[in-house]
Amino acid sequence: MVAVAEVVRVPRRRRLPGSGTLVFIGRLFRDKPLGAFGFVICVLFLFAGIFADVLAPYGYNQINPINRLKPPSEKFWLGTDNLGRDMLSRCLYGAQLSVIIGLSAAALATVVSVLIGIVSGYLGGKFDMIMQRFVDAWMSFPDLIILIVVVSVVGPGMGPVIVLLGLLYGIGGSRIIRGAVLSVRENAYVHAAQSTGASMPRILWRHILPNVMAPVIVLFTTRVGAVILAESGLAFLGLGVPPPAPTWGGMLSGSGRSYMYMAPWLALAPGLCITIVVYAINVFGDALRDLLDPRMRGSR
């Protein structure tokens, strides 16, 4: 698995120009049409995921062998799979699962990254060194060992996948946050706060954290996409959330591949879902990064 990483240097403290999220969204549409497009798609899928129970015409496990492998039609907009289940409903519930798994794992990863990155980057010295060695050791573990071990002991399921991916990305991403913290740490007002005797938690909370918010937010959004992709890779290896759970990755790597020739819609539907959503998340994340960092805004 590829760990997404960057270093973003934040030079000084500043507030978000303009006030309120609405203005922000306005700027998004005006200045970053591509990112806005991504944002709209993300919102649509979020909506589909949350309201899957209402939107889906059938259940996600409504097995009916008589209807198996039917191509898209009026009755089944995206066709049916090898057990006769409606693909549209399964993809909608898949969105729900992606929302849950993606948001949870990304949230966990971000919290872990921030905690490790901030504390380690700010304190520096021996603590930083030991922490980084721990991060090194963790990241030299082939992801596979951890995944198989945990999956064997605990059994495949949504919980292990979320925790595992959260930890894996969290520890890996801590480097980025740490890098940002290293830059912020040397700034004048931080020294000023230190010299006035402000306590460390106060400094971290009031001075460091707000100034690394930009990479944190961006990290979070890209993590969601990475988690969705990672789950599909796990599903390919048989370590993902097990059937009948309609994860896009599970559908794509399972019956999607088995019936590729006989029933291509089995793979097309979940495959397009994954691709479109991950694409949207990424362009939105890029736009966010551009907007949150004034130096990225360019000449316009």
Partner 1 sequence: MRTLRGALLAGAMMMAAGGVSAENGEKPQYGGQLEIGTVYVTISALSWDPADFNWKLNHDTGLFYEQLFAGDMSKSKKAGGPYNYIPDAWLPIDSIRGELIESWEWKQDPLRVEMKVRKGVMYPEKPGVMKKREFTSDDILFTFNRLKNSPKKLLGYFDHVDKVETPDSHTIVFYMKHYFAEWDYQFGWGYYSAIHPKEVADAGASNWKNVNGTGPYMLQDFVAGNSNVYVKNPDYWDKEKIGGQEYKLPFVDKITYRTIKDEATYITALRTGKLDMLETIRWQNVDSLKKSAPQLQWNRWLNQSGTFMAMRVDVDGPFKDIRVRRALNYAVNKQEIVQAYYNGNAELFSYPQHPDYVGYFEPLDKQPASVQELFKYDPAKAKKLLAEAGFPKGFTTKVQVCSCNPDHMDLLPLVAGYLEQVGVKLEIQPMEYGAFLSAMTTRNMTPAYFMNNGHTNPITTIRKSFGTKQTWNPSGWSDPEYDKKIEVIYREPDESKRQAMLRELTTEILDKAPYIWLPTPYYYAAWWPWVKNYAGEMRAGAVRPGPIYARIWVDQELKKKMGY
Partner 2 sequence: MQAYIIRRLLAMIPTLLFASLIVFITVRLIPGDIIDLMLSSNDIGADKKSRAQLEAALGLDQPMFSQYFRWLGAILFEGSLGKSLWQNTSVMEEVLHRLPITFELGLMALVVALLVGIPIGVYSAVRQDTVGDYVTRSFAILALALPGFWVGTLVMVFPSIWWGWSPEVKYISFTQDPLRNLAQMAIPALILGKAFSAVVMRLTRTMMLEVMRQDYIRTALAKGLATRTTILRHALRNALIPVVTLVGLQAPVLVGGAVIMEQIFVIPGMGLLLLEAVSTRDYPIITGVFLIVGVAVVVINLLVDLSYGLLDPKVRYR
Q: Which residues bind partner 1 (CB under 8 A)?
A: 61, 63, 65-66, 68, 82-84, 148, 151-153, 155-156, 238-239, 242-244, 254-255, 257-262
- The nearer residue to partner 1, 18 or 238, going by C-beta atoms, is 238
Question: Least distance in Å: CB of 127 to partner 2?
Answer: 11
Q: How far apart are CA 7 and CA 130, in angstroms?
A: 21
Quick one: which segment of 12-20, 63-71, 198-206, 250-258 binds partner 2 (CB under 8 A)? 250-258
- The nearer residue to partner 2, 12 or 196, going by C-beta atoms, is 12
Q: How far apart are CA 274 and CA 300, in angstroms?
A: 33
Out of 18, 26, 30, 34, the residue judged to bind partner 2 by CB under 8 A? 34
Q: How far apart are CA 259 and CA 27, in angstroms?
A: 45
Both tokens assigned to 213: 């918010």
264: cis peptide before it, omega within 30°?
no
Instruction: By CB under 8 A, tell whether 9 contacts partner 2.
Output: yes
Question: Least distance in Å: CB of 152 to partner 1?
Answer: 4
Out of 225, 246, 250, 254, the residue judged to bind partner 2 by CB under 8 A? 225
Cα atoms in the Cβ-side hemisphere of radius 13 Å centred on 60: 20
Q: How far apart are CA 147 and CA 230, in angstroms?
A: 12
Cα atoms in the Cβ-side hemisphere of radius 13 Å centred on 257: 10
The listed partner (partner 1, partner 2, none) that binds 113, CB under 5 to 8 Å by sort, is none
Rg for the chain, CA atoms, rounded: 22
Question: Least distance in Å: CB of 165 to partner 1?
Answer: 18
Both tokens assigned to 259: 């019936």
Residue 150: count of CB within 10 angstroms of its CB: 17
Q: Are 108 and 166 in contact (CB under 8 A)?
A: yes
The listed partner (partner 2, partner 1, none) that binds 246, CB under 5 to 8 Å by sort, is none
The listed partner (partner 1, partner 2, none) that binds 124, CB under 5 to 8 Å by sort, is partner 2
Residue 23: count of CB within 10 angstroms of its CB: 12
Q: Which residues bind partner 2 (CB under 8 A)?
A: 1-9, 31-34, 124-125, 129-130, 133-134, 136-137, 139-145, 148-149, 152-153, 172, 175, 179, 182-183, 186, 225, 229, 232-233, 236-237, 249, 252-253, 256-257, 260-261, 267, 271, 274-279, 282-283, 286, 289, 295-296, 298-300
